[in-house]
Structure 1
């Protein structure tokens, strides 16, 4: 009876229903870390915040890969500066959030409030350096990034076709060059007309929208949007500014003393049409890429359906008939057959450099599982843009914890290939690919350190990453390798001949290199549109939020890599070329080469990056992405072919 009672609880449908109902009901009061709503009221009370704290983040530019902290520029600083705690992802992405001197109370409108005045003396070399750095920032169109209630303060403006665009950043200033041509934000004001002159945006009109809440239920007001309008104003009275006058111009030549007064105005507006849960929508709607995304998805689905039809035809018709006819023949007639059936004695011959292949496949398994779980969590909304740095933190933590599958797969395949140097295999699995990535990352970080960029990872964080790698990932890899070597290698379904069969003369299309080059085209065709938006989010500092599309494209990429590699593997086996181990890995892995070519095209056609440091950083980080993508796609192709070859030869009757 006791055993029946124990079994009844987990298996009874009523118990499952009640458990599900409990979980669902409890989720209504659950908020993700950093995403819990904050209530505001006019009079400070318990659990509510009266002051609206404005935070400042790093400044970046589309013309430079080097971001800088807010304090690197000579702006007004908070006297009681403090930094909120940052997760690993924020540190790796170079986010540096700190409090600002822009302080205001909820529903307390203010007009033309002075923040500070910055003076520049012509006789001070330090002031000259500060002003030159500010001018360089305006010349390269560096952008402020301000935050209120974990929400970006956006600059909304109308573009040429009448569409409203909201940018989660606004420029620090702009430049009118020597020819009198305004650059970047200088085109918005006709008063910016002096040649060879900088205009600094030293005044902002901030508008904060709030939902009034429901006082009967004890719900106070919540902030639902924050916008601003940057302006350049030369204040006639620095002590009592009126925020009226000509633009604040800074000549290119520093020949006289200069004062820049920073001011702000803030207005609170009630808007009950926007709910707190959907307060990011006005930013995301201004990014009109949904139609392009659906076009990309439909294009990829057509490719997948085509490949699926081809594979189904091969598997269900050609292979089925070939196997049935071969099994009905006697031994003499079977020896006269040609094609994939004649290489059954060589198809499972261990490949050359099996050690390196097994290491790549172990690392590829680790990357595949990490990517799948990360995208799934992002698709479910756990890694939204509001939860800053969560995506990178999740990916790094998952990679560290997935050392066991990497060690197991690498050891098991290496043993299948007949390898005996198990110590070398384990060490290479734990250190080869992560070591290459870390060395590249460290070299890029040295450049960031030299340039004084905020994206430079602190030494303590590098030590923490190494501790995660050596203290958790490496031991888990050893554990996985132990269980992998403990088990016997994967037994092939047919015997391998002692003497290798001679491979006949191959046509151009069945040679290795043309097949590998053609194999990467279809998978890349499924992802290149999505790749454009990913590169935009990384290098053009645009917000990426379409994780549902990304997860769907990920599934399509996996299917396309698998089917394209299986098709080419079948054609090569029909040509009696049994060297399929490395070819299956390189066929789908060659998609990474197309990714690199596209990244080069994106650099020269879409970006306006200037400077040797920014160029080296771009290609250095791109090489990391290409290596990870190469291992990832190559692993998909290999295991697809491995399953395919085992499947067809396991049903082939061979004495």
Structure 2
């Protein structure tokens, strides 16, 4: 009866895991759900529509720049939109702007301001254009998008067009803003919700004669006009620039408010077919490794263990069989590391902390709770999970260190609390100094650095010591076999059993299981796009864990067969 119950329990567990993975797959593939934490706003005709500006970004320098570091048109009073810690860490500096937008009220060639630039300011614009900086606007929490010359969607629009190192670049001093709205679920055709926000930039070398009589707009700003482009000549002593904009309203009832972010996700995350192909490719790797592990267990371990467990015959007693391979080192399998056992325990404990942090954060992200519209929330979730899971790191490292019968438990706990976070914080602090010296918006304010430092020292470290306290109070983990007092000598190893070869082989297969998702994640970071198929990423993460475990089993088995017990 117990075997039948175990089989039923195993089937239920497998069914739960299948349902679990399918839910996340559909959560990633199905985009038609409302983004949590975002309030749906219905505007009436004549309502003022605030337009905010965000940091300038570049895929070449990867260093964001404050919008008003360049001499753009300023509002009468600069105001920062309320920001959280995650927005500071991700260089989102959202500020107000002088743009005057009114719902359902089109504008043509409106004059934003007139600026007279010096040589240094001209060179500053030219340098940023050469570095391919993008301008970012936000309306109703929706970022502005544009179409590249190749026909792809891009977040933001270019500051200008670079013609070459020696040639003068063009400055985009006019932008045609097209705002799409949906009035299908409103009570009046004069109401609507913002579902699209696009920019079409142009470069116009306006003259004073192009001004209207009132001086509030330009007489021409059409792309087909004969106005020449505006070049930023680095040798010029001064330049007068007229900044203009137009606003068009487009009815888009085919785009629902809940799915208005889909175009950004598709541009940054690719199509679902690509991700399914990646998962199938990773599953093939898992099946290959599972076959190898099963072959090892069935042909080697099962046969030997069965022979050890049965009652030997008189012939087997009379015959002394020579043991070979992994069976020779069974008394040395659980010997503590000869060098730095504390470091081993610290790395395992911190690894459990990082693994659990990644798993918990990915679960919340796959369920749509960390949408890109909630700027900075993903970083906050990572920080909070890492800090709270300090107790797990302390517990695991303490249990492992007590298993090795270590005596310096204070040092083990202190290193668990400070080594990995300390290296990360020190690297972050020194890199922040260089970014601050360059003048980039990526430099985190000192107050935010102090807050991160407090999260580490005031919350994470005490939790690590708390977890270690409970870990050391528990009885030590017992080994299935006794460890001999005298270490067995390790024979010379062949070249293919070196640590370097094990690292290469052990890294190639897990990388092959996740490289497609890794490509999209890194592309979204470096090219300022949005990645949001966290369901696919979660499935790939489970496959990665499975692959790493099976690769470890295979490599450890071959290492033990070579009589090297320092696994």
Within the candidate set 278, 283, 295, 1:313 is matched to 295
Within the candidate set 170, 183, 187, 1:199 is matched to 170
Matches within 5 A, 1:509-528: 509-528=496-515
**Alignment partner, residue 273 of structure 2:** 291
- Is 2:88 the counterpart of 1:88? no
Within the candidate set 65, 69, 72, 1:72 is matched to 69
SS in 1 for 2:97: strand
Deviations along 1:379-400, one digit per CA (max 9) or x if unpaired, are: 1111122221111111011101
- How much has 1:251 moved relative to structure 2? 4.5
Deviations along 1:66-116, one digit per CA (max 9) or x if unpaired, are: 210001011011213222211222111111111111121100111111111
- Is 2:542 the counterpart of 1:555? yes
- Is 2:99 the counterpart of 1:102? yes
**Alignment partner, residue 335 of structure 2:** 349
CA distance in 2, matches of 1:128, 1:256: 5
Taking only aligned residues, the RMSD between alpha carbons, in angstroms, comes to: 2.1
- How much has 1:519 moved relative to structure 2? 1.5
**Alignment partner, residue 285 of structure 2:** 303
Matches within 5 A, 1:190-269: 196-216=167-187, 220-237=191-208, 238=211, 239=215, 240-244=217-221, 245-269=226-250
Contact 2:114/2:240, CA 8 A, preserved across alignment: yes
CA distance in 2, matches of 1:254, 1:342: 80
Of 407-416 and 331-340, the range deviating more from structure 2: 331-340
Contact 1:214/1:220, CA 8 A, preserved across alignment: no
Of 370-379 and 528-537, the range deviating more from structure 2: 528-537
CA distance 1:319–1:150, shift in 2 (3 Å): same
CA distance in 1, matches of 2:140, 2:433: 34
**Alignment partner, residue 363 of structure 1:** 350
Q: Which runs of 5+ in 1 are unaligned?
A: 1-29, 44-49, 121-126, 180-195, 581-655
Within the candidate set 59, 65, 88, 1:62 is matched to 59
Within the candidate set 237, 253, 257, 1:276 is matched to 257
**Alignment partner, residue 534 of structure 1:** 521
CA distance 1:390–1:178, shift in 2 (3 Å): closer
CA distance in 2, matches of 1:361, 1:453: 36
- How much has 1:465 moved relative to structure 2? 0.4
CA distance 1:332–1:529, shift in 2 (3 Å): farther
**Alignment partner, residue 42 of structure 1:** 45
Size of the alignment, in residue pairs? 519
Contact 2:135/2:159, CA 8 A, preserved across alignment: yes
Matches within 5 A, 1:565-604: 565-580=552-567
Of 569-578 and 224-233, the range deviating more from structure 2: 569-578
- How much has 1:157 moved relative to structure 2? 4.5
Deviations along 1:296-326, one digit per CA (max 9) or x if unpaired, are: 2221111001111111222234211111113
Within the candidate set 326, 333, 341, 1:340 is matched to 326
Of 276-285 and 257-266, the range deviating more from structure 2: 276-285
Q: Which runs of 5+ in 2 are unaligned?
A: 1-32
CA distance 1:246–1:421, shift in 2 (3 Å): same
Contact 1:39/1:219, CA 8 A, preserved across alignment: no
Of 484-493 and 399-408, the range deviating more from structure 2: 484-493
Deviations along 1:107-152, one digit per CA (max 9) or x if unpaired, are: 01111111111112xxxxxx33222211111111110011111111
SS in 2 for 1:482: helix
- Is 2:375 the counterpart of 1:413? no
Contact 1:367/1:399, CA 8 A, preserved across alignment: yes
- TM-score scaled by structure 1? 0.76
- TM-score scaled by structure 2? 0.87
Higher relative contact order (CA 8 A, sep 6+): 2
CA distance in 1, matches of 2:60, 2:70: 17
- How much has 1:506 moved relative to structure 2? 2.8
CA distance in 2, matches of 1:257, 1:520: 57
CA distance in 2, matches of 1:332, 1:87: 77
CA distance in 2, matches of 1:109, 1:428: 62
